[in-house]
Amino acid sequence: MPKALLLVLVSSSSACFTYVPVQMTALAPQQDVRVRITDNAGARLIKDLGVYTTQLDGEFEAHGDSVSVTVPIVREYRGLALPATNQSLYLSRSEVVEIRQRRLSTTRTVLATAGVVAGFVALVESVQAIFNPSEATEEPPPPPPVGIRIPLRPLTLIRIPIP
C-alpha cells in the first residue's frame, strides 16, 4: 500500500499547477515566475541564451525601470549534462508582455488524484481476477440439460484375421 500512496502523491504533484497572470508590483523578490517577452527582446537574448525564445521561467526581480529574470542554464558536452548554472537576464519593463505565477490548481489535483486512484483500483481488481479466478464476479456457465443427452452406441470391432 505505501507504493500506491507514493504513486498518488507523485501524480498529484505533477501537472497540478497552473500559471495565473500577476501584476509586476505584486511579486516578492526572487519569486519563481513565467515571463513572456516581446519578439525583439527574444531576438536580443539569443546571444545570451543560445536559442530564440519569448518565454522565460525563473526568478523575477524588479530594479526600478528594468527587471531581471534569473534562469537556469543547462549545458551538454559530448552527451553529458554539465551542472546547471544560473544566468540573470535584464529586460526593460516595456519588453515584458506578461508575468505569470505558478499556483496549485485544486481542480487539476483532485482530478489527477481521482484518476490515479481509479486506475489503481482497476489494476488491483484485474490482478485479483487473474490470480484468483474462484472469486471472480462472473459465474461459471451452467451444465448442459440432462434430458437432451444422446447416449453413444457401443462400438463393435471387426476382426480381420491376418495369416
Which among 32, 9, 37 has a CA at the least distance from the CA of 20? 32
Q: Are strands 55-63 and 66-73 parallel, antiparallel or unpaired?
A: antiparallel
Looking up cell 500559471 gives 19
CA 6 and chain centroid, separation: 14
Distance CA 53, CA 42 (A): 5
Q: Which of helix, strand or coil describes residue 34?
A: strand
Q: Which pairing describes strands 85-92 and 55-63: parallel, antiparallel, or unpaired?
A: unpaired
Q: Is the dihedral of CA 107, 112, 118, 124 positive or negative?
A: negative
pLDDT digits (tens, 9 = 90+) for 14-28: 567 888 888 888 888
What does DSSP assign to residue 103? Answer: E
Sign of torsion over alpha carbons 85, 90, 94, 99: positive
More confident residue, 1 or 66: 66
pTM value is: 0.56
Give the separation between CA 36 and CA 97, rounded to whole angstroms.
5
- Tens-place pLDDT, residues 99-158: 998 888 888 888 888 888 888 988 888 887 777 766 555 677 777 777 666 666 666 677
